[in-house]
Chains A and B, each alone.
Chain A
Amino acid sequence: KAGVTQTPRYLIKTRGQQVTLSCSPISGHRSVSWYQQTPGQGLQFLFEYFSETQRNKGNFPGRFSGRQFSNSRSEMNVSTLELGDSALYLCASSLTTGTNQPQHFGDGTRLSIL
């Protein structure tokens, strides 16, 4: 069974631009969560989607948004990019939502803002 797939693997943008990252979960998984990983802040939760609905949101500004499609694939969008948005963005999927579901991570998208 294929794992979580994130595209693109690397991305370079400039300040003020916007970016869309994609995540395809493991087949059959319906929950997708997004995390931001930076050297300074570590791993921080962005949001979770389940059945095309945002179930939970972390403490990030409204420039960070996402959506989930009927096939459970998810996209994350960041508008008006800032230098501080440079990070590794990780997507994780699980069968369903809930505390007992282990999350399986993708390889991440490395976003660099110039």
Chain B
Amino acid sequence: AQTVTQSQPEMSVQEAETVTLSCTYDTSESNYYLFWYKQPPSRQMILVIRQEAYKQQNATENRFSVNFQKAAKSFSLKISDSQLGDTAMYFCAFITGANNLFFGTGTRLTVIP
């Protein structure tokens, strides 16, 4: 079975601080990609960062970085210098050869001014 687990339904962080969102997944596939998407109240799903499973180096994208632990099937997202615009639902997802994204249930992040 392909599953994604986000154990933190809600989180909050002070503006300019750092926050880490956790994600674990389960798949028997060896070739897959991992993603973090954000969905602000405007509801459009926006790609934040992606990680190729075969790469050991953690992906970074400006203030966003991941901690990818393949053996543990863990894929956490770190947001540095949090901004008010980071307030959104964050979804962890992975995609296998079948090209369908498996999503977690999401973490609602609120950045507090």
Contacts and interface: CB of A to CB of B under 8 A. Distances in A.
A98 B103 CA distance: 17
B42 interface: yes
A99 B51 CA distance: 11
Contacts of A55: 99
Given A43-B103, A48-B100, A99-B95, A105 B33 contact: no
Nearest to A105: B45
- Categorize the interface residue count of chain B: 20 to 34
A92 B98 contact: no
A60 B10 CA distance: 29
Contact of A90 (B32, B45, B52, B97): B45
Given A42-B106, A43-B91, A99-B31, A56 B98 contact: yes
Contacts of B99: 31, 33, 48, 55-56, 97-99, 101
Interface residues of A, number: 26
Given A42-B105, A100-B52, A105 B46 contact: yes
Contacts of A25: none
Contacts of B42: 107
Given A43-B103, A45-B102, A55-B99, A107 B47 contact: no
A52 to B, nearest CB: 16
Nearest to B32: A99
Contacts of A43: 91, 93, 101, 103
Given A42-B103, A42-B105, A107 B31 contact: no
Nearest to B104: A42
Interface in B29-62: 31-33, 35, 37, 42-47, 50, 52
Interface of B: 31-33, 35, 37, 42-47, 50, 52, 91, 93, 95-106
Interface of A: 31, 33, 35, 42-45, 48, 55-56, 58, 88, 90, 92, 97-108
Given A56-B99, A98-B99, 17 more contacts: A33-B99, A42-B103, A42-B104, A42-B105, A56-B98, A56-B100, A92-B101, A97-B99, A99-B97, A100-B52, A101-B99, A102-B50, A103-B95, A103-B101, A104-B47, A105-B37, A107-B42
